[in-house]
Structure 1
């Protein structure tokens, strides 16, 4: 699907019909079909990268110049409302005073920017201004995602090290749930890190392209400011990744400690029951000459001896702090 926008004064206006693409300010291509790619290539004289080409990881395939057009592909995080956000690639093509975006996802940042730009933004007069506006919105959305993860990690930290309270699920069950939650937040952090690193590289190349094109210095300053923002987000993500890794290790350690406690309890109980079992085994023998078996006090005496023989190890283990 092709959506075309024109720069009308200080704002963007969406066309009702595609019309002449050569006069457009921004051409947004979502899930393009083959005929749509050919239409853009013929109208603008540029090559539209395919989805497989956009996914190439080599820098030379993501940032390059061809026929006077600058190609920049970045990884973005989207669908942040889901439990685990998704990642996708977006290609920005600067061709003269036109911007072409090619994407196979619908990040919330795009309609948010359109809403803002249609109300008025002087930077919309140029393709560089439109692109930096989109990138700034992508960074803003990623920052919101990072803040959400930070809040969740802060909430989980006390739960890992202090799990008390009656009427709640068992401790082991809660540790299992925490392990899954910490793992999920770690996955989100890794995706955000990948996106932030990609946007950082994109902005560096974008700034150089804007200088080569001799674009407005104020727009170049906005690009550099956006790069500073993404750099600060990368620092926050490094700290968040370390914090998440620590919580993951701590949760695994707590689970291991709980399992060791259970095994220790079983071992102590087995040792405690050995003397009573020995007494019961002795009096379970079928020898003819066992005088106390014929006495009225024999049965209570045997029970008492089993009780005392089990109580003594219990008190000893309690004193040693093994229970």
Structure 2
């Protein structure tokens, strides 16, 4: 899917003919955004011919597990960010990379799947809501800000799932709860590995090592950076909560195992006492009067029952079961 948009002061005009890209790039006051979803070989050839992107930059753009970063090339910059979504049905996080080529009057985005932030950014520009000027940095800020703001929505959903896991520790089976905890910890760890490099990217922009934003626009970049700091703190907090939940779960399982071992031990004591009576009367001595009496067998069974009942009452009074 290919989408080409030309930005005006308070509107966005879609362009169907991609052959106009060359003419639009020659117009210094024209700002264009080319968005490629699952680019085909023809789309990749378009990037080489119209924009002259370096093969290594294009290779990074096509990788689905590339680390977030910012790189400088002659005449443009390469930025990789990640969109994060929570799949409520599968109860897992989905990470989708977005590669951005930022030039003087153009923005090219490449993504391997659907990302709603593109449409949100276009709508945001249409309403002219909190857009800091009319240039490529404005579109870049609007897109990154929409991506980072959505992190908080994902974190809220993760928080709700953690609450459910904590409540289920005392209700559901062992494997189910443990699996959810480890899945969440794995997702949060990967989330953390994404957010940390993205903070480094914004640090580069704030220090003006890359001249994309003007000094007057740095306040907007700093706001996005602060949001990423809050996201990082929330991720660390949730990881600590999951670690505590896992410790509580393992402690509960240990207590249940100890209780089971205690019950089995008490039953083994009762059975050992009964076995003692059976062992005594099972000895092959000749002079054992009870063996020749008609009441010998009922006496032995009654003695076993009396010992077992006495031990059971004793254990119950001591609250051992």
| TM-score w.r.t. length of structure 2 | 0.84
Q: Is the 8 A contact 1:182 1:248 kept in 2?
A: yes
Give, in angstroms, the shift of residue 201 of structure 1. 1.9
**1:212 is matched with which residue?**
211
In structure 2, the partner of 1:15 is 15
Any idea what SS the aligned residue of 2:72 has?
Answer: strand
Residue 221 of structure 2: aligned partner: 223
Give the superposition deviation at 1:96. 0.3
Of 230, 233, 240, which residue of structure 2 is paired with 1:232? 230
SS in 2 for 1:105: coil
CA distance change for structure 1 residues 108 and 83 in 2, over 3 Å: closer, same or farther?
A: farther
Offset from partner CA, 1:177-236 (integer Å, 9 cap, x none): 22222222222322322232232122223334597246371x321111011111111111
Corresponding residue for 1:273?
Answer: 271
* Partner in structure 2 of residue 45 of structure 1: 52
Matches within 5 A, 1:1-323: 1-22=1-22, 23=24, 25-47=32-54, 48-51=57-60, 55-57=65-67, 62-78=69-85, 80-81=87-88, 82-121=90-129, 122-123=131-132, 125-160=134-169, 163=170, 173-208=172-207, 212-213=211-212, 215=214, 217=216, 219-284=217-282, 289-323=287-321
What displacement does 1:53 show? Answer: 5.9
TM-score of the aligned structures, taking structure 1 as reference length: 0.83
CA deviations on 1:23-61 (whole Å, 9 max, x unpaired) are 25211122222331221222123335224667454x8xx
Show the counterpart of 2:27: none
Instruction: Say if 2:78 and 2:101, in contact at 8 Å, map to a contact too.
Output: yes
Gaps of 5+ in 2: 25-30
For residues 52-93 of structure 1, what are the alpha-carbon distances to aligned partners after superposition, in whole Å with 9 as ceiling and x for unaligned?
667454x8xx32211121111123323544421222322222
Compare relative contact order (CA 8 Å, sep 6+) and give the higher one, 1 or 2. 1
> Please, what is the CA RMSD of the aligned residues?
2.8
Q: 1:220 to 1:78 in 2, by over 3 A?
A: same
User: Which whole-Å CA distance do the structure 2 matches of 1:55 and 1:159 have between them?
Assistant: 33
CA distance in 1, matches of 2:288, 2:125: 101
Contact 2:149 2:227 in 1 (8 A): no
1:179/1:252 contact within 8 Å kept: no
Q: 1:305 Cα shift?
A: 0.6
Over 3 Å counting, the alpha-carbon distance change for 1:216 and 1:25 in structure 2 is farther
Count of residues in Structure 1 that have an aligned counterpart in Structure 2: 309
| Alpha-carbon distance between aligned partners in 1 of 2:213 and 2:118, rounded to the nearest angstrom | 26
Gap regions ≥5 residues in structure 1 = 164-170
